[in-house]
Homo-oligomer: A and B are copies of this chain.
Amino acid sequence: MEIYYGNIAYSKSKTELVCHKNSYIVVDNGKVISIFDKLPVEYQKYQIIDYKDSIIIPAFSDLHVHAPQYPNRGIAMDELLYDWLNKYTFPLESKYKDPIFAKEVYEKFIEDLLRHGTMHASIYATIHNEATDILINLLEEKGIRSFVGKVNMDKDSPDYLIEDTLESIKNTEIFIKKHQNNLYAKPIITPRFAPTCSFELLKKLGELGKKYNCGTQTHIVESLWEREEAKKCYPGCTSDMRIYERADLINKPFIAGHFIFPSEEDIEILKKYDGYAVQCPNATVNVIAGIMRTGYLLDNDINLSYGSDISAGEYLGIYRGISDSIRLSKIKSFYENDDRSITFKEAFYIATKKSGEIFGNVGSFEEGYEFDALVINNMSDSFIDLSIEEMLERFCYLGETKDITHRYLRGKEIII
């Protein structure tokens, strides 16, 4: 039994941010029991970890991140998509045939992920099995709830980063079988996106998904180019989502990266299968792809989540994604009439409870949720009193890694 004292905040729903000033959160065996303004007698015998005027919040989830692209974060950001992919991203991904390079990067990536307060993630690796094994094993050892995908790409890819169709399927099955019984880091089927995958590949991956009860992550309508190219590659399909439905590849969870230009059909199919759309706020702008209709999708009860999308995105902290997402919703509603701006409460909910639910009971402090938590500096100045919500908002707008002072994973402090 552990008891933590401080200013406690978490989301209950998209309209409810629950804030407890100067309160106690009681955790048993890594799970939240309850929050008290005044500690009941029966708990007074336990030691209290006193975080004074700090804020205690649930850890963040990142639902779209390319771990192998970590070495390129924050560079070549003024390149256009084509050059960015061919001069930077694909050549870097091809280096992961070398397991020593992979291990060095993936260790640093995970450490930095935790430093930024992210404790759950859905991650793209590369086409290489050995390197992807290294990544998933590191996450499993650390007990990080995550999905990890060996990437599939068997067409329209560079010579040095392409697979034979049957080889790709075989290697995916080997990867899934090896890790299907993991407790924390689970395999997920990861076709890069429709334009780089043959229908034969997608169909066979669908069969693997059914056989091993394994979800799918991919990029869906991430740019106008991708949306049109996907339809061109799959003439019978009227939308990007239809391709995956036809391949019978929409297994749970289904994670649709970007989802910027969905047709009503895309939205309908995503909703039908209870899939998640992931906004990667600065990534999509860095590569000039456009802006997701976050307000519209929220109002239509689509599952929304955030991703850092390293290295199209540059910053691992999902808290900065919150403020970027609010800003983008304002731009979107300024330039187009198809959306509204979103609130801080909504964005914080998306980043914690909503994105977290895909991993189980994480991302909130309701009873029974795992205590995956961050202790954040108070963020106040001496000359003005902030509410807990304002402190939290300030953290999401101008916070830095130094402002995350402690990190807990299922009630155990992580030292990085």
Contact = CB atoms under 8 A, between A and B. Distances in A.
A298 B382 CA distance: 41
Nearest to A326: B78
B393 A77 contact: yes
B393 A323 contact: no
A169 interface: no
A384 B71 contact: yes
Complex copy number for this chain: 2
A155 to B, nearest CB: 28
B390 A71 contact: no
Interface residues of A, number: 49
Interface in A250-284: 282
A383 B104 contact: yes
A143 interface: no
A172 to B, nearest CB: 26
A400 interface: yes
Contact of A77 (B76, B291, B326, B386): B326
A315 B397 contact: yes
B101 A315 contact: no
Contacts of A336: 335
11 contacts: A71-B381, A74-B395, A74-B398, A77-B344, A77-B393, A101-B383, A288-B333, A291-B331, A314-B397, A314-B398, A335-B335
A394 B327 contact: no
A179 to B, nearest CB: 24
Contacts of A231: none
Nearest to A103: B383
A347 to B, nearest CB: 8
A401 interface: yes
Contact of A323 (B77, B344, B390, B395): B77
A75 B393 contact: yes
Contacts of A334: 288, 290
A38 to B, nearest CB: 29
B383 A71 contact: yes
Contacts of A393: 74-78
A108 interface: yes
Interface string A91-123: 000000000010011001000000000000000
Contacts of A327: 282, 285-286
A249 to B, nearest CB: 30
A407 to B, nearest CB: 17
A211 interface: no
A402 interface: yes
A326 B314 CA distance: 13
A73 interface: yes
B382 A104 contact: yes
A78 to B, nearest CB: 5
Nearest to A290: B334
A236 to B, nearest CB: 30
A341 interface: yes
Contacts of A104: 382-383
